[in-house]
């Protein structure tokens, strides 16, 4: 197991990953990869990233002992990694910031991104405003209508939101449009991808910037408990908060890495390997071979694909991937809110739901770290509707 990293070829995680895009685009993406490799270990770049993580995002965030929840369940100790306390209320800003700083080093004059639910669009618009670069966010037309408030947030932050009125007006069409823009304008434009998905180099790059989560949590748990946790639990949509939470424990064989998918979008549990959005990973298809529509209550997890490294960790048995239903997540959201005074995002609530089950099965000297990927403020209207209608 200790040779996991050396087995990972550039852009590939076992049989997963790679870059399946037109040649013209591949050249552009490979160059982003080269620049990323160049700057990621550059002391000045690291210092700048750390500066903004501290002064702008508010890191490090706490690893909170969930004393009441632990007592109530009566099994393993539960700790919460508090990404919900970041500026903008979730983990996405870590990655947006890292890529913006890379874009600046590469001399980009303009940022583009695509977003489905709007959360990545908001993180990108935020980081762009902070660094002073204009930004264009592509969004399926149907999604702009469903997520009108997030569109307005992006506009407040100075972004231009382009409603893509093609195909079904969803994320896929927005991704296509963003790649087209990049091919046309790559001389001065940087494409900022929001999860550990997409062709090389994005899965590596997003993991790198999100691995700050486990860099902190490892140090924090060693300080508090003097030992490593039994398990890390994180929700898995595209997989960025999960891979960031796992990253610094992958080599620690004794630490279980558990990704929690929504029962309504069980990509790893039920998907098959395929090229989707430019890379090979497990993907959900319907009986006609079309990407299968998913139906999670958590917009950030409602996706047929997943980052390639998760498919790989699953294939070699290093990662465990389980599901939690929307109903279980809704109950976990209410439980954590009542017992600890912390309202988790609906996405994170899937991880909380599984952690509560797992804690019961484990002993008092076991430790679970659950990643609270975001705060639930964005979800209270939806939760209100679900509980009252
Ligand atoms: C976007 C989002 C997710 C899902 O994205 P990952 O890339 O899987 O982390 C999870 N939680 C929150 C709060 C989000 O905003």
Query: 205 to each of 10, 34, 66, 211, 276, how far by Cα in Å?
Result: 12, 11, 31, 10, 19
Choose the catalytic residue: 83, 114, 216, 347. 114
Which whole number is the average pLDDT over 344-356? 98
Query: Is the confidence at residue 162, as pLDDT, over 80?
Result: yes
The SS3 assignment for 374 reads: strand
Give nearest CA residue, ligand 1 atom 5. Answer: 237
Q: Are residues 175 and 71 part of one domain?
A: no
Q: Are residues 319 and 252 part of one domain?
A: yes
Q: Are residues 167 and 122 part of one domain?
A: yes
Q: Is position 4 within any domain?
A: no
Q: Are residues 184 and 105 part of one domain?
A: yes
Q: Is position 1 within any domain?
A: no
> What pLDDT, on a 0 to 100 scale, did the predictor assign at position 291?
86
Q: What is the CA radius of gyration of the chain?
A: 20
Domain that holds residue 76: 60-90+212-388
> What pLDDT, on a 0 to 100 scale, did the predictor assign at position 5?
47
Could you give the angle at the alpha carbon of 376 between the alpha carbons of 93 and 215, nearest 5°?
40
Q: Are residues 166 and 25 part of one domain?
A: yes
The last residue of a domain, from among 206, 224, 239: 206
The last residue of a domain, from among 162, 185, 206: 206
Active site includes 92? yes
Per-residue pLDDT tens for 285-303?
Answer: 999 988 898 999 999 999 8
Per-residue pLDDT tens for 23-76?
Answer: 999 999 999 999 999 999 999 999 999 999 999 999 999 999 999 999 999 999
Active site includes 389? no
From 83, 87, 92, 206, the mutation candidate for ligand 1 (largest count of ligand atoms within 8 A of CB) is: 92
Q: Are residues 299 and 245 part of one domain?
A: yes
Provide, rounded to the nearest whole percent, the portion of the chain with pLDDT above 70: 98
What's the full length of the chain, in residues?
Answer: 389
Active site includes 373? yes
The last residue of a domain, from among 206, 239, 260: 206
Are the CB atoms for 300 and 375 separated by under 8 Å? no
The SS3 assignment for 80 reads: strand
Backbone phi and psi for residue 227, each to the nearest 5 degrees, phi listed first:
-155, 165
Of 197, 190, 208, 149, give the one whose Cα is nearest residue 171. 197
Per the prediction, the chain carries an average pLDDT of 95
- Report the alpha-carbon distance of residue 202 to residue 192 in Å, rounded: 9
Are the CB atoms for 241 and 233 separated by under 8 Å? no
Q: Are residues 184 and 144 part of one domain?
A: yes
Q: Are residues 196 and 326 part of one domain?
A: no
pLDDT band at 9 (very low <50, low <70, confident <90, very high): low
The SS3 assignment for 253 reads: coil
Could you give the angle at the alpha carbon of 142 between the alpha carbons of 137 and 148, nearest 5°?
65
Q: Which residues line ligand 1 (CB under 6 A)?
A: 90, 92, 119, 195, 235-242, 300-301, 345, 347-348, 373-374
Q: Are residues 16 and 164 part of one domain?
A: yes
Q: Among the atoms of ligand 1, which is closest to the Cα of residue 83? A: 13
Of 271, 267, 244, give the one whose Cα is nearest residue 257. 244
Q: Are residues 242 and 199 part of one domain?
A: no
Q: Are residues 321 and 242 part of one domain?
A: yes
Q: What is the CATH number of the domain that holds 158?
A: 3.40.50.1100
């Amino acid at each position: 197991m200790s040779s996991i990293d050396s087995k990972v070829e550039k852009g590939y995680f076992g049989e997963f990953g790679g870059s399946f895009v037109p040649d013209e685009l591949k050249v552009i993406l490979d160059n982003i990869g080269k620049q990323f490799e160049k700057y990621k270990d550059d002391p000045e770049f690291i210092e700048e990233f750390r500066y903004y993580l501290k002064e702008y995002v508010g890191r490090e965030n706490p690893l909170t002992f969930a004393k009441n929840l632990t007592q109530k369940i009566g099994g393993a100790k539960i700790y919460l990694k508090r990404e919900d306390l970041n500026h903008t209320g979730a983990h996405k800003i870590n990655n947006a910031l890292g890529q913006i700083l890379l874009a600046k080093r590469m001399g980009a004059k303009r940022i583009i991104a695509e977003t489905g639910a709007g959360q990545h669009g908001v993180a990108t618009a935020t980081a762009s405003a902070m660094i002073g670069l204009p930004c264009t966010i592509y969004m399926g037309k149907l999604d702009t209508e469903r997520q009108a408030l997030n569109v307005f947030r992006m506009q407040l932050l100075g972004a231009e939101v382009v409603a893509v009125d093609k195909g079904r007006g969803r994320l896929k069409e927005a991704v296509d449009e963003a790649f087209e823009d990049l091919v046309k304008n790559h001389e001065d434009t940087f494409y900022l991808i929001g999860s550990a998905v997409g062709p090389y180099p994005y899965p590596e790059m997003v993991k790198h910037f999100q691995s700050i989560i486990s860099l902190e949590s490892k140090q924090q748990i060693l300080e508090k408990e003097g030992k490593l946790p039994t398990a890390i639990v994180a929700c898995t949509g595209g997989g960025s908060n999960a891979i960031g939470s796992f990253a610094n424990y992958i080599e620690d064989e004794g630490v279980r890495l558990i990704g929690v998918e929504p029962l309504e979008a069980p990509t790893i549990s039920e998907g098959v390997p395929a090229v989707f959005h430019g890379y090979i990973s497990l993907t959900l298809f319907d009986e006609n071979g079309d990407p299968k529509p998913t139906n999670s209550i958590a917009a950030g997890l409602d996706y047929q694909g997943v980052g390639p490294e998760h498919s790989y960790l699953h294939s070699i048995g290093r990662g465990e991937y389980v599901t939690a239903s929307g109903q279980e997540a809704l109950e976990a959201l209410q439980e954590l809110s009542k017992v600890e005074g912390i309202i988790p995002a609906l996405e994170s609530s899937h991880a909380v739901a599984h952690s509560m089950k797992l804690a019961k099965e484990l002993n008092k000297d076991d430790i679970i770290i659950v990643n609270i990927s975001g705060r639930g403020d964005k979800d209270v209207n939806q939760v209100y509707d679900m509980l009252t209608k």
